[in-house]
């Protein structure tokens, strides 16, 4: 590896490393605005200017030496931008000379020339790169003095420009154009990370500003620009004016909004969650998180249940824990233990799953389930790390990763652009990665995308198609036939040529990755065929389950095995339990963090629960990586964790709960699997347990398709998310809707497992005919379509 001298230190770095990363690797700092974490450097900010030189070889192939016999360094005639300068053997880099400091000081002065000094009212105060650079590299008395020799601390003798200060780019992001320093980070981010062409420079010279199309920022990853903006130009509207950065209590944790387990920071103030930010994990989510993970936290502070509730006289009344225990004992009296059901949330931790599984065994109950469970266990498919996507020669997607597993969308786009896994330095991930090239279009030959509805990744795919809901098995059968050299069977809506093209690319590849959405996982026959294809071709699989901890709960044995008679009583920690369960049970104990219509209507006893932001526990994500949750500093009243609530429920049944506390669950987990959940690797620990569970098919009939969505039902409770998403939309092909006598724009009441939902009818000619599509924030499902047009609300 090339040896590079940075000031007085010599370091070895991989070939092609930027001089900037060599400087950081050597332990020195360099100011920058233009490049940040994997974004292609442009050198536009000129803050990373350094003095650099390198030796040369003579005609004889030997290094040219000076008069003293030392290898001669030929200094470049001008200062170089270190973010675009690749290192070479023997290069010398100077970051401390007066020449360099003078240039850096001058660039800070130019950057501040038109920048408003409104730090007292700017939300970025205390976490602003420009503040840090102005303090560290700003005006130096050594370079600017008046004729008398006194330092000159300002040379401003003009009025700064004034432009739009509060320009909303979307409901989530607001732009202060006066503060923008035109670093282009946000523009490059959208182009290079999610692949969305939604932001760009408009006008030229002093009139240049950042702008979007009329539709704003139609991206599932727009919030990340608030993290990478080096000044207070781009701000999170959900967290704006919520507090100063030094006032937040910052907790490193993990998002439970999907199965990826994105690393996040939870910022709380005065017992309330005010902001969610991305936390770096180069092996999982890099430094990016989805908008649902960032902005979907408002529900955690709404309608909180802060103490036990007991139904008295037809209504739920506040009670003590002793009164709640007495009410449970009375309600469970005479109920056989084996007729008691336990339903966990999909984001229940491994510790909570272990506690529930042990209790179910003690009760001899087979009615143990979790919300978001698919018909086929995700554990049936061998998990692979996200890094394998960058090494794959072909990616086949059967589903919608942008909505079902948002961070997979980013990894897929990286692979199609040819972005390699970055090396690791002393300072972590490369700051200016020279292996990344700007304006590199995605290679469509590497991707095949098929789903029951149009998806965003289809825009990048050479082979693509939309099949009807319920026809995943037909598509996979056609694909399997094409792999065997046979003519693929016809699949409604999919061109056979596209199937053959995808099969040909798949066979020609050496390394393959298969993404399977809920449409496949909810169909045992389709899942079995997908498993056969993956195993025969040695492909890695991402089973994109709706539940955040599906693999972890399955590993703990949380899976239904009960008979059709069903339970008589139930402990319910799910937000939207099946209506069938609510109808068949006589007594229901809810463990809920917030009051909902389901709780108000069906609960006999309510135990206050902690939200996922307040838990300590462990998840097993989609790539089979153990990642840890940490509790944020939130005022949750008397709320208790699920393990403690299950222990109290066991007391009401007259049994001793095998596991009552998280620490006890972790100790038992360590005894069983020899893994200490208190000492996970910094970026998570890979663990692939052996799980053997039988599929549990669910009846799926009708023409209402519950389309998986990144935004869950609880996210839509937040006021900002409501404004951003607008009214719930029921989409259908125009012919389908008109056949039902429904006009575009009609406001309908649609019956779903979550109750009756109001939705606005929209026409989409790209959808399969005969179906209605509703984003429901739950596993893909097909239901009879029943729509009621509210009186006086036929059109919106």
Sheet strands (E) in 360-504 = 368-370, 394-398, 447-451, 463-466
CA distances from 41 to 102, 188, 232, 438, 581 (A): 22, 9, 21, 9, 56
Both ends of the chain: CA-CA distance in Å? Answer: 65
Q: What confidence tens digit (pLDDT) does each residue in 315-367 have?
A: 999 999 999 999 999 999 989 999 999 999 999 999 999 999 999 999 999 99
pLDDT of res. 796: 38
Q: Is the pTM of this model over 0.75?
A: yes
pLDDT at 143: 64
Euclidean distance between CA atoms 190 and 112, whole angstroms: 26
**Range 668-697 burial, b when 16+ CB lie within 10 A, else e:** bbeeeeebebeebeeebbebeeeeebebee
CB atoms within 10 A of CB 259: 29
Q: What is the full DSSP assignment across 564-625? A: TT--SEEEE--SS--HHHHHH-SEEEEEESB--HHHHHH-SEEEEB--GGG--EEEE-TTSE
Q: What is the pLDDT of residue 41?
A: 59
Tell me the three state secondary structure of residue 512. Answer: strand
Categorize the per-residue pLDDT at 407 as very low, low, confident or very high, splitting at 50, 70 and 90. very high
- Min mean pLDDT across 174-178, 223-227, 775-779 is at 775-779
CB neighbourhood size of 526 (10 A): 24
Distance CA 491, CA 470 (A): 11
For 119, the 3-state DSSP assignment is helix
pLDDT in tens, 117-136: 889 999 999 999 899 988 88
Selected residue with higher pLDDT from 511 and 47: 511
Q: What is the pLDDT of residue 44?
A: 62
Decide: 413 and 533 in contact? Cβ < 8 Å. no
pLDDT in tens, 24-59: 999 998 887 775 555 655 556 778 899 999 999 989
Q: What is the pLDDT of residue 557?
A: 95
State the burial class of residue 792 (Cβ atoms within 10 Å of its Cβ: 0-12, 13-18, 19+).
exposed
Res. 759: pLDDT tops 60: yes
* pLDDT at position 152 over 90: no
Angle among Cα 432, 436, 438 to the nearest 5 degrees reads 105
Interacting residues of 200 by C-beta distance below 8 A, sequence separation 6+: 187, 210, 211
Position 160 scores a pLDDT of 85
Residue 571: which of 753, 367, 714 has the closest Cα?
367
Higher per-residue confidence, 791 vs 233: 233
pLDDT given at position 792: 47
Mean pLDDT of 492-511: 94
Residue 649 burial by CB count (10 A; 0-12/13-18/19+): exposed, middle or buried? buried
Question: Under the phi-then-psi rule, with left for phi > 0, alpha for psi from -120 to 50, and beta for the rest, what region is 269?
Answer: beta
pLDDT(701) > 80: yes
Query: Can you say whether the dihedral through the CA atoms of 262, 263, 269, 270 is positive or negative?
Result: positive
Rounded to the nearest 5 degrees, what angle is found at the Cα of 224, between the Cα atoms of 220 and 227? 165
- The better pLDDT of the pair 468, 214 is held by 468
Average pLDDT, the chain: 91
Burial 319-346 (b: 16+ CB within 10 A, else e): beeebbbebbeebbeebebebbbbbbbb
User: Environment class of residue 78 by beta-carbon count within 10 Å: exposed (0-12), middle (13-18) or buried (19+)?
Assistant: exposed
What is the C-alpha to C-alpha distance for residues 77 and 51, in angstroms, rounded to an integer? 9
Alpha-carbon gap, residue 390 to 384, rounded angstroms: 12
Residue 633 has pLDDT above 50, yes or no: yes
496-508 vs 472-483: helix crossing angle, rounded to 10: 50
pLDDT for residue 11: 93
Please provide residue 346's backbone torsions phi and psi, each rounded to the nearest 5 degrees.
-70, -20
pLDDT at position 213: 73
- pLDDT for res 483: 94
Question: CA 366, CA 344: separation in Å to the nearest integer?
Answer: 14
pLDDT reading at 285 higher than 80: yes
pLDDT of residue 541 exceeding 80: yes
Pair 269, 262: CB distance under 8 Å: no
Say what the pLDDT of residue 255 is. Answer: 96
The span from the CA of 461 to the CA of 515, in Å, is 14
Contact 350, 662 (CB under 8 A): no
């Amino acid at each position: 590896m090339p040896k590079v001298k940075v000031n007085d230190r010599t370091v070895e770095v991989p070939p092609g490393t930027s001089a900037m990363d060599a400087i950081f690797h050597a332990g020195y700092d360099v100011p920058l605005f233009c490049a940040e974490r994997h974004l292609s450097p442009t050198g536009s900010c000129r803050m990373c200017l350094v003095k650099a030189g390198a030796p040369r070889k003579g005609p004889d192939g030997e290094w040219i030496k000076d008069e003293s016999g030392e290898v001669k360094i030929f200094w470049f005639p001008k200062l170089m931008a270190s973010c675009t300068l690749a290192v070479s053997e023997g290069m010398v880099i100077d970051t401390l000379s007066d020449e360099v400091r003078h240039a850096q000081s001058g660039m800070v002065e130019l950057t501040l020339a038109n920048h408003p000094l409104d730090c007292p009212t700017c939300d970025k105060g205390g976490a602003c790169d420009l503040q840090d650079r102005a303090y560290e590299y700003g005006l130096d008395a050594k370079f600017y003095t008046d004729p008398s020799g006194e330092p000159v601390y300002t040379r401003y003798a003009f009025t700064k420009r004034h432009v739009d200060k509060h320009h909303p780019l979307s409901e989530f992001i607001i732009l202060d154009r006066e503060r923008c320093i035109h670093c282009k980070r946000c523009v490059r981010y959208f182009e290079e990370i999610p692949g969305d062409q939604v932001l760009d420079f408009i006008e030229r010279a002093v009139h240049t500003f950042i702008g979007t199309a009329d539709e704003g920022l139609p991206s599932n990853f727009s919030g990340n620009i608030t993290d990478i903006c080096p000044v207070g130009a781009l701000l999170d509207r959900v967290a704006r004016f919520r507090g100063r950065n030094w006032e937040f209590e910052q907790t490193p944790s993990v998002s439970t909004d999907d199965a990826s387990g994105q690393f996040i920071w939870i910022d709380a103030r005065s017992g309330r969650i005010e902001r969610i930010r991305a936390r770096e994990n180069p092996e999982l989510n890099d430094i990016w998180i989805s908008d649902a993970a960032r902005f979907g936290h408002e529900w955690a502070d709404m309608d909180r249940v802060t103490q036990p509730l007991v139904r008295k006289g037809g209504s739920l009344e506040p009670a003590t824990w002793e009164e709640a225990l007495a009410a449970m004992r009375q309600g469970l009296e005479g109920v056989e233990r084996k007729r008691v059901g336990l339903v966990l949330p999909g984001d229940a931790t491994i510790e909570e799953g272990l506690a529930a599984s042990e209790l179910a065994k003690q009760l001899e109950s087979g009615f143990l389930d979790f919300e978001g469970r698919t018909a086929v266990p995700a554990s049936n498919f061998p998990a692979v790390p996200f890094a394998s996507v960058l090494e794959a020669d072909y990616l086949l997607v059967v589903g919608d990763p942008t909505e079902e597993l948002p961070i997979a969308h980013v990894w897929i786009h990286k692979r199609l652009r040819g972005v390699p896994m970055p090396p690791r330095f002393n300072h972590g991930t490369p700051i200016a990665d020279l292996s990344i090239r700007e304006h590199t279009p995605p290679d469509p030959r590497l991707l095949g995308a098929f789903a029951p509805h149009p998806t965003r990744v289809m825009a990048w795919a050479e082979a693509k198609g939309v099949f009807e809901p319920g026809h995943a098995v037909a598509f996979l059968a056609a694909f399997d036939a094409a792999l065997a050299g046979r003519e693929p069977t016809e699949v409604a809506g999919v061109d056979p040529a596209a199937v053959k093209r995808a099969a040909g690319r798949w066979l020609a590849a050496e390394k393959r990755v298969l993404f399977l959405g809920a449409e496949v996982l909810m169909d045992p026959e389709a899942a079995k065929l997908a498993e056969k294809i993956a195993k025969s071709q040695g492909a890695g699989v991402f089973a994109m389950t709706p539940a955040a901890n599906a693999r972890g709960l399955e590993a703990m044995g949380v899976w239904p095995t009960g008979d059709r008679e069903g339970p008589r009583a139930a402990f319910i920690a799910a937000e939207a339990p099946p209506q069938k369960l609510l109808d068949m049970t006589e007594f229901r104990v809810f463990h809920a963090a917030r009051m909902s219509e389901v709780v108000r209507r069906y609960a006999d006893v309510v135990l206050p629960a902690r939200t996922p932001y307040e838990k300590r526990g462990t998840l097993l994500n989609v790539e089979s990586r153990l990642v840890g949750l940490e509790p944020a500093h939130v005022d949750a009243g008397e709320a208790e964790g699920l393990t403690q609530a299950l222990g109290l429920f066991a007391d009401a049944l007259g049994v001793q709960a095998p596991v009552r506390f998280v620490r006890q669950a972790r100790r038992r987990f360590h005894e069983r699997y020899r893994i200490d959940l208190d000492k996970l690797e910094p970026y998570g620990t890979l663990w692939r347990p052996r799980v053997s569970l039988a599929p549990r098919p669910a009846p799926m009939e009708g023409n209402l398709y519950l389309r998986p969505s990144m935004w869950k039902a609880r996210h839509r409770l937040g006021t900002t998310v409501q404004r951003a998403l607008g009214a719930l939309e029921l989409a259908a092909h125009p012919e389908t809707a008109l056949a039902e006598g429904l006009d575009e724009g009609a406001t309908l009441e649609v019956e779903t497992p979550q109750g009756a939902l109001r939705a606005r009818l929209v026409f989409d000619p790209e959808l399969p005919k005969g179906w209605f599509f509703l984003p429901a924030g739950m596993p893909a499902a097909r239901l009879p379509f029943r729509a009621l047009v509210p009186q006086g609300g036929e059109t919106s």
